[in-house]
C-alpha cells in the first residue's frame, strides 16, 4: 500500500524518531501551534456538471475542498485548494480541527499527550494518536505501548473513529493496520448529529482501559499454559495449515521451515524458556519482528515496515489470536501434528 504521504500537502508529526519512512517532523510536545498546519478549513460548494457547454447544478450533491490558505503559507495558490469529495448534500464534514478539539476536550485535562498527528492521501485522511496514560504495559515481564487512535476521512470511506491499539499512526499502513487490529471502535458518522455524538467521546475511556486489561489477561493466560517442544512445533505448523490452505495438511518447504524457526525462537528467542504458549507467541512475534519473517537481509527501514505495518504485522496478530482461542488452538494442534508427520515421512 505504501505510506500515502503526498507532498507537499500531507504532514506527519511525531513525538519521537525515527519513523520507518523518515518523513515525520519530530516535536517532543505536539501542541496546538505545532499541529496548526494540518487544521485546514473544509469548503462546501454546490456540485456542477458541464454537458455540451451548458453548466448544470447536480441535484442533491455538493463538493468538499480542503482550503489550506490560512494554515499553509508555504503552498502556492494553485496548491492551497484541494478537492476532497463529492458527497450527498446531507453529508456532515468532520474537520481535522473538529477531531483535534474533541480530543483536547476529552483528554487534555487528564494529562494525556499527543504522540502523533498526520494527514494522508492529499488530506483525505486524518489521524492522531494519544498517550492517555497507563500506556506502558508490562505483561509477563515484557513491555508494550498502547495508544488511543482517532481517525477520520474526508472522502466518504470511513466515519470518524476512536479506538485503542498497540500501534501509533504515522502513515497509511499504520492507519489501516491499527483499525483492523482494534476490537472495539467508537464511531461518529458524517451526519447532522455528529456534533452531539462527539460530545460523548469521553465515555470511551472506560472501554479502552477495560480492553487493555483484557489484552493483558490474554497474554498472561498464555503464560499459564505449558507447552512442550513437540506441541509447539505442531501448533506452529498448524498455523500455516490454517492460513495457507494447505491441502491434506501438506506444508510447503517454506512454511515448514518458518514453523521450525518459530519453535527455535520459542526455546531460544529473547526472554523465552520454551515452556509455555506465551513463549510460543513470543517466538512468533520475534520471527515476524526481527527474524527471518521480515527478511534477515532487508535494510532497517524495510524490516520496521514489514514488522509493524505490513503482512508480518498481520501474521503476528493472527498467530496470537488463534493461539489464545480455546476452539482454534486444538485445530492448530491436530492439523499441525499431521503436517509434521507428513514432513518427516517425506524425508
Q: What's the average model confidence in pLDDT over 30-59? A: 91
Instruction: Work out the pLDDT band at 306, boundaries 50, 70, 90.
Output: very low
Determine the pLDDT at residue 96: 96
- Residues 186, 47 share a domain: yes
Q: Is residue 47 part of a domain?
A: yes
Determine the pLDDT at residue 12: 96
- Residues 196, 282 share a domain: no
Asked whether the beta carbons of 144 and 137 are under 8 A apart, the reply is yes
Instruction: Work out the pLDDT band at 312, boundaries 50, 70, 90.
Output: low
- The DSSP 8-state label assigned to residue 323 in this structure reads H
- Domain with 249 in it: 225-346
Average pLDDT, the chain: 83
pLDDT in tens, 227-269: 999 999 999 999 999 988 777 888 999 999 999 999 999 999 8
- Residues 55, 171 share a domain: yes
Determine the pLDDT at residue 6: 95
Q: Is residue 308 part of a domain?
A: yes
- Residues 111, 25 share a domain: yes
pLDDT in tens, 85-103: 999 999 999 999 999 988 8
Global confidence as pTM: 0.64
- Residues 252, 199 share a domain: no
Percent of the chain scoring above 90 in pLDDT: 44
Asked whether the beta carbons of 92 and 190 are under 8 A apart, the reply is yes
Instruction: Work out the pLDDT band at 305, boundaries 50, 70, 90.
Output: very low
pLDDT in tens, 114-162: 999 999 999 999 999 998 765 555 555 566 677 889 999 999 998 888 8
Question: What is the DSSP track for 180-240?
Answer: HH-S-EEEE-SSTTHHHHHTTGGGHHHHHHHHHHHHHHHHHHHHTSB--HHHHHHHHHHHH
- Residues 104, 31 share a domain: yes
Q: Is residue 332 part of a domain?
A: yes
Amino acid at each position: 500500500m505504501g505510506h500515502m504521504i503526498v507532498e507537499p500537502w500531507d504532514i506527519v508529526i511525531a513525538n519521537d524518531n525515527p519513523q520507518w519512512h523518515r518523513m515525520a517532523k519530530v516535536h517532543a510536545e505536539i501542541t496546538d501551534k505545532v499541529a496548526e498546519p494540518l487544521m485546514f478549513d473544509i469548503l462546501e460548494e454546490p456540485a456542477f456538471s458541464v454537458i455540451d457547454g451548458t453548466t448544470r447544478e447536480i441535484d442533491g450533491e455538493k463538493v468538499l475542498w480542503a482550503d489550506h490558505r490560512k494554515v499553509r503559507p508555504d503552498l502556492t495558490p494553485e496548491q492551497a485548494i484541494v478537492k476532497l469529495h463529492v458527497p450527498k448534500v446531507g453529508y456532515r464534514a468532520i474537520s481535522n480541527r473538529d477531531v483535534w478539539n474533541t480530543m483536547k476536550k476529552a483528554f487534555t485535562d487528564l494529562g494525556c499527550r499527543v504522540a502523533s498527528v498526520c494527514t494522508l492521501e492529499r488530506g483525505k485522511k486524518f489521524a492522531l494518536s494519544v498517550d492517555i496514560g497507563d500506556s506502558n504495559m508490562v505483561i509477563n515481564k515484557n513491555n508494550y505501548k498502547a495508544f488511543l487512535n482517532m481517525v477520520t476521512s474526508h472522502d466518504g470511506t470511513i466515519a470518524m473513529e476512536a479506538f485503542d491499539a498497540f500501534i501509533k499512526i504515522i502513515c497509511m499502513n499504520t492507519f489501516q493496520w491499527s483499525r483492523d487490529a482494534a476490537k472495539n471502535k467508537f464511531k461518529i458518522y458524517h451526519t447532522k448529529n455528529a456534533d452531539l455524538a462527539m460530545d460523548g467521546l469521553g465515555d470511551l475511556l472506560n472501554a479502552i482501559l477495560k480492553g487493555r486489561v483484557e489484552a493483558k489477561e490474554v497474554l498472561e493466560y498464555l503464560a499459564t499454559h505449558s507447552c512442550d517442544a513437540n506441541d509447539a512445533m505442531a501448533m506452529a505448523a498448524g498455523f500455516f495449515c490454517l492460513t495457507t490452505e494447505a491441502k491434506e495438511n501438506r506444508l510447503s518447504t517454506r512454511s515448514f521451515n518458518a514453523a521450525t524457526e518459530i519453535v527455535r525462537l520459542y526455546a531460544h528467542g529473547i526472554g523465552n524458556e520454551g515452556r509455555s504458549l506465551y513463549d510460543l507467541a513470543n517466538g512468533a512475534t520475534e520471527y515476524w519482528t526481527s527474524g527471518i519473517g521480515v527478511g534477515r537481509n532487508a535494510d532497517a527501514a524495510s524490516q520496521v515496515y514489514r514488522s509493524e505495518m505490513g503482512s508480518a504485522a498481520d501474521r503476528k496478530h493472527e498467530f496470537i489470536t488463534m493461539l489464545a482461542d480455546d476452539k482454534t488452538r486444538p485445530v492448530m494442534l491436530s492439523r499441525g501434528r499431521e503436517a509434521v508427520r507428513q514432513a518427516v515421512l517425506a524425508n
